Amino acid sequence: MTQPIRIAVAGAAGRMGRHLMQATLEHAELHLAAAVARPGHAAVGMDAGALAGVESCGVAIVDDLEAALSGTNIDVVIDFTLPEALAGNLAACREAGVPIVIGTTGLSAEQKAELERASTHLPIVFAANYSAGITLSLKLLDIAARALGDDFDVEVIEAHHRHKIDAPSGTALRMGEVLADALGRDLSDCAVFGREGRTGERDSKTIGFETIRGGDVVGEHTVMFLGQGERMEITHRASSRMTFARGAVRAAGWLVRQPAGLYDMEDVLGLR
């Protein structure tokens, strides 16, 4: 009988961490072997299953990923924490030789470069969004942008719950990167983040971003292609964080069979 893949969840006490633990516990081929929260968090010492809202699983929340990796035979780490925790978590995984699935958003250019460097030693999946629908949407955006070209203005609109701390969302920025690449532009040069006052006529080579924060919106993204006499929209709406959690645990199961390298959900879903 094949042994289940042993998962460690970093950021276990957060909203996504709890969903990740639930998705792992509900998956027949995965085993929750460790769950890590930040030092001093009230969840440390609690049963991971109880924290995730399912039955107790006998795994206590700990506060040290490096110790968890050295003391338990972990196959893969799933990390949905904060950007400032990334370097330490990457170092712990590299030291232990354990692949890592990363869903942390708001990374700087240097942090993304660190992922690239670490991927020469480790298998890493990094995605701004682990939804299968978003992954397919990125493909559709690439096709649409290449077909419509500079004749259409492009705007990205995203909405999330009031607790989200980064804006625009990592998914919206990834959409912008896909659009810019397809249109032969550099997003750092053409992105416009919100508008106010007398802005003047729209530059046709820009990509606009609008951010909405409020309530309990899980995640909504719409890209508008606005031409003369017609408009096309590609929209994705998520109604449950379990969508992202199930995608991440799917990525974890896929990653353990891969060589060192930096992958994303297109690789996981076989869309490349």
Q: 136 and 22 in one domain? A: no
238-263 tens-digit pLDDT: 999 899 999 999 999 999 999 999 99
CA distance 164 to 158: 12
DSSP secondary structure code for residue 75 in this structure: S
Domain extent, residue 50, equals 5-130+241-268
How much is the mean pLDDT over the chain? 94
Q: 45 and 34 in one domain? A: yes
Q: 210 and 112 in one domain? A: no
Single out the catalytic residue among 160, 161, 205, 236.
160
Kindly write down the DSSP assignment for every residue of 145-183, as one continuous string. HHHHGGGSEEEEEEEE-TT--SSS-HHHHHHHHHHHHHH
In degrees, rounded to 5, the angle at the alpha carbon of residue 86 between the alpha carbons of residues 119 and 81 is: 125
CA distance 63 to 80: 15
1: confidence class by pLDDT, cuts 50, 70, 90: very low
Whether 160 is catalytic: yes
Give yes or no for a contact between 207 and 194, defined as CB atoms under 8 angstroms apart: no
CA distance 173 to 156: 9
DSSP secondary structure code for residue 103 in this structure: -
Number of domains in the chain: 2
Neighbours of 138 (CB within 10 A): 25
Q: 215 and 196 in one domain? A: yes
189-246 tens-digit pLDDT: 999 999 999 999 999 999 999 999 999 999 999 999 999 999 999 999 999 989 999 9
pLDDT at 263: 97
pLDDT at 129: 87
34 pLDDT higher than 60? yes
Cross-sheet strand order for the sheet of 231-238: 191-193, 207-213, 153-160, 219-226, 231-238
Q: 149 and 120 in one domain? A: no
CATH number for the domain harbouring residue 47: 3.40.50.720
Q: 248 and 220 in one domain? A: no
- Tokens 């030291």 sit at which residue? 95
CA distance 97 to 74: 10
Alpha helix locations (H) across the chain? 15-26, 48-51, 65-71, 83-96, 109-118, 132-148, 170-183, 187-190, 242-255, 265-268
Q: 35 and 141 in one domain? A: no
pLDDT at 41: 93
Q: 80 and 202 in one domain? A: no
Give yes or no for a contact between 94 and 124, defined as CB atoms under 8 angstroms apart: no
Spatial neighbors of 62 by CB under 8 A, at least 6 apart, are 34, 35, 36, 37, 44, 68
Q: 138 and 114 in one domain? A: no
Single out the catalytic residue among 19, 27, 164, 221.
164
Q: 107 and 161 in one domain? A: no
Distance in angstroms between the alpha carbons of the first and the last residue of the chain: 32
Whether 41 is catalytic: no
11-21 tens-digit pLDDT: 999 989 999 99
Q: 116 and 13 in one domain? A: yes
* Cis amide linkage into residue 168, ω under 30° from 0: yes
Q: 245 and 151 in one domain? A: no
CATH number for the domain harbouring residue 137: 3.30.360.10
